[in-house]
């Protein structure tokens, strides 16, 4: 009996063992393929990084070699932006997240921003200044040192056949010292960048990196109880008995009160309202509730949002964009003054599309920017600006508008809304010199919201 059972089971067990062995071998091979693929990607990103840093140093040298009024500067700056953007991408592909490399990444980001912002202005009318040439000289010297450090690491990788997968395992273990030439080389590079000190990037970057501060809030400071009373008035509630107020940002230039209103007998969902302590200006209002049905179209949502803004003191606002998610519309309104659409002066209103209830309002942009009204007068006529358009561009509307351009400057422009090649666009020409500041494609929902 046992012989008969053995005769039956032995081949089955043998087949199972062979199958398990084949499965294990295939899994091992698949794992090796994944590891080889990851290692190849790391190696490619690293060697591309070294190459692009070489190219960046060379491009900086070429840009410095010509006169400050040379037409080559724009090309050089654009190439610098392209190379540093590629270098940033390659750094992000390497397993360096557990290594202190922030300073080097920040330097690359600043070079990219500086070169892009500088290249975007009219260098014929506003050539590179002495301060900007000094920045380029500093970057030229620093990029040479970074390039040389990368070359040393590259030589070690090639000569000693170093693996990036070993770097990843070492960094994940957290056991220092790591005793790895790649890690040591990148740590040295980051330390060197830290020792460079801060670079004065000048006005080109200061506008870009400006710290947000409240500019337009005046009036006396309010108390927590006054913030509650303002919230009760805003919501149309009889008293403040069930409200709670919390002060935020103490000892900063942005001190606010957040007033929380729990759900109660009025049948409303919990709500939050935030006011600035100085002047008691509204920052945001928010209520969260599920919206299961959609009964309101775009026009109805815009009408409800505009009426709400009028009711609460935000006058002269125009809908400029429309988004929709989970049956809630998010509509951006821009301020209109003297027929000029001022796009930086924006508030966002959220509208529930079941019953047109306003579920949110954000007015922070108005507080940070301040209501600037004097943007000068156009130096060119609208007719002159029209001549700059593509002859095939069919203009539907035109007006003056204030936008924030790529240099983070607020500029007065002629805004042309129209169509070409089957698409709708907004095109902005600087009203002083005719420079084409911005082109935007208009989505159907935005056009419906703005009535374009």
Same structural domain, 289 and 183 = no
| DSSP secondary structure, 317-372, as one string | EEEEEEEEETTEEEEEEEEEETTEEEEEEEEEEEEETTT--EEEEE-HHHHHH---
Is 281 within a domain? yes
The per-residue pLDDT for range 357-367, each reduced to its tens digit, is: 999 999 877 77
- Highest averaged pLDDT of the listed ranges 70-74, 267-271, 314-318: 314-318
196/340: higher pLDDT: 340
Is 376 within a domain? no
Query: What is the predicted pLDDT for the residue at 211?
Result: 43
Query: What is the predicted pLDDT for the residue at 210?
Result: 47
Rounded to whole angstroms, the Cα distance separating 256 from 247 reads 6
The per-residue pLDDT for range 123-133, each reduced to its tens digit, is: 777 788 888 88
Same structural domain, 303 and 446 = no
Q: Give the number of domains in the chain.
A: 3
Is 2 within a domain? no
Same structural domain, 128 and 254 = no
Domain final residue pick, 147, 173, 208: 208
Is 377 within a domain? no
Same structural domain, 326 and 430 = no
128/233: higher pLDDT: 233
Residue 94, both tokens: 């390497």
Domain range holding 345? Answer: 224-369
Asked if the model's pLDDT at residue 111 lies above 60, the reply is yes
The per-residue pLDDT for range 386-415, each reduced to its tens digit, is: 999 999 999 999 999 999 887 777 889 999
Same structural domain, 63 and 204 = yes
Is 108 within a domain? yes
Domain final residue pick, 175, 208, 241: 208
Same structural domain, 405 and 436 = yes
Rounded to whole angstroms, the Cα distance separating 98 from 137 reads 32
Is 96 within a domain? yes
Same structural domain, 393 and 350 = no
Is 8 within a domain? no
Yes or no: say if 431 and 340 are a contact pair by the CB < 8 Å rule.
no
Look up the pTM and report it.
Answer: 0.64
443/375: higher pLDDT: 443
Same structural domain, 356 and 411 = no
Is 130 within a domain? yes
Same structural domain, 345 and 397 = no
Grouping H, G, I as helix, E, B as strand and the rest as coil, residue 283 is strand
Asked if the model's pLDDT at residue 213 lies above 60, the reply is no
Same structural domain, 67 and 191 = yes
Query: What is the predicted pLDDT for the residue at 263?
Result: 78
Domain final residue pick, 158, 180, 208: 208
Where does the pLDDT of residue 380 fall: very low under 50, low under 70, confident under 90, or very high at 90 and above? very high
Average pLDDT over residues 180-197: 81
Q: Which residues of 295-328 are buried (b: 16+ CB within 10 A; e: fewer)?
A: ebebeebbebbbebbeebebeebbbbbbeeeebb
CATH at residue 432: 3.10.450
- pLDDT over 70 for what percent of the chain? 83
The per-residue pLDDT for range 291-311, each reduced to its tens digit, is: 888 999 999 999 999 999 999
Query: What is the predicted pLDDT for the residue at 212?
Result: 44
Among residues 193, 178, 60, 172, which one has the least CA distance to residue 115?
60
């Amino acid at each position: 009996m046992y012989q008969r059972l053995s005769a039956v089971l032995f081949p089955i067990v043998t087949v199972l063992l062979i199958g398990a062995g084949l499965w294990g071998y295939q899994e091992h091979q698949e794992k090796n393929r994944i590891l080889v693929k990851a290692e190849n990607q790391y190696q490619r990103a690293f060697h591309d990084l070294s190459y692009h840093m070489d190219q960046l140093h060379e491009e900086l040298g070429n840009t410095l070699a010509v006169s400050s009024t040379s037409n080559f500067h724009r090309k050089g700056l654009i190439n610098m932006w392209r190379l540093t953007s590629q270098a940033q991408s390659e750094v992000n592909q390497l397993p360096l997240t557990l290594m202190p490399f922030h300073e080097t990444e920040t330097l690359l980001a600043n070079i990219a921003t500086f070169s892009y912002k500088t290249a975007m202005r009219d260098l014929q009318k506003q050539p590179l200044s002495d301060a900007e040439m000094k920045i380029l000289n500093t970057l030229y010297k620093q990029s040479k040192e970074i390039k040389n450090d990368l070359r040393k690491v590259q030589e070690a990788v090639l000569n000693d056949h170093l693996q990036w997968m070993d770097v990843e395992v070492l960094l994940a273990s957290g056991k220092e010292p790591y005793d790895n030439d790649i890690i040591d080389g990148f740590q040295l590079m980051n330390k060197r960048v830290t020792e460079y000190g801060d670079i004065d990037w000048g006005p080109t970057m200061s506008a870009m990196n400006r710290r947000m501060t409240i500019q337009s809030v005046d009036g006396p400071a309010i108390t927590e109880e006054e913030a509650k009373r303002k919230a009760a008035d805003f919501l149309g509630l009889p008293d403040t008995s069930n409200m709670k107020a919390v002060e935020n940002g103490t000892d900063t230039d942005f001190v606010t009160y957040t007033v929380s209103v729990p759900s109660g007998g009025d049948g409303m969902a919990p709500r939050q309202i935030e006011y600035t302590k100085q002047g008691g200006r509204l920052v945001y209002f928010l209520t969260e509730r599920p919206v299961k049905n959609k009964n309101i179209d775009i026009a109805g949502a815009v009408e409800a949002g505009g009426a709400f803004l009028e009711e609460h003191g935000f006058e002269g606002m125009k809908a400029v964009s429309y988004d929709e998610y989970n049956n809630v519309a998010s509509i951006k309104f821009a301020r209109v003054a003297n027929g000029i659409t001022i796009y930086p002066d924006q508030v966002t209103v959220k509208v529930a599309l079941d019953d047109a209830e306003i579920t949110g309002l954000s007015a922070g942009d108005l507080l940070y920017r301040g209501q600037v009204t004097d943007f000068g007068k156009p130096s060119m006529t609208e007719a002159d600006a029209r001549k700059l358009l593509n002859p095939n561009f069919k203009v539907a509307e035109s007006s003056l508008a204030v936008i924030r351009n790529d240099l983070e400057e607020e500029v007065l422009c002629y805004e042309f809304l129209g169509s070409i090649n089957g698409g709708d666009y907004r095109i902005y020409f600087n009203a002083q010199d005719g420079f084409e500041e911005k082109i935007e494609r208009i989505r159907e929902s935005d056009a419906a919201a703005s009535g374009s």
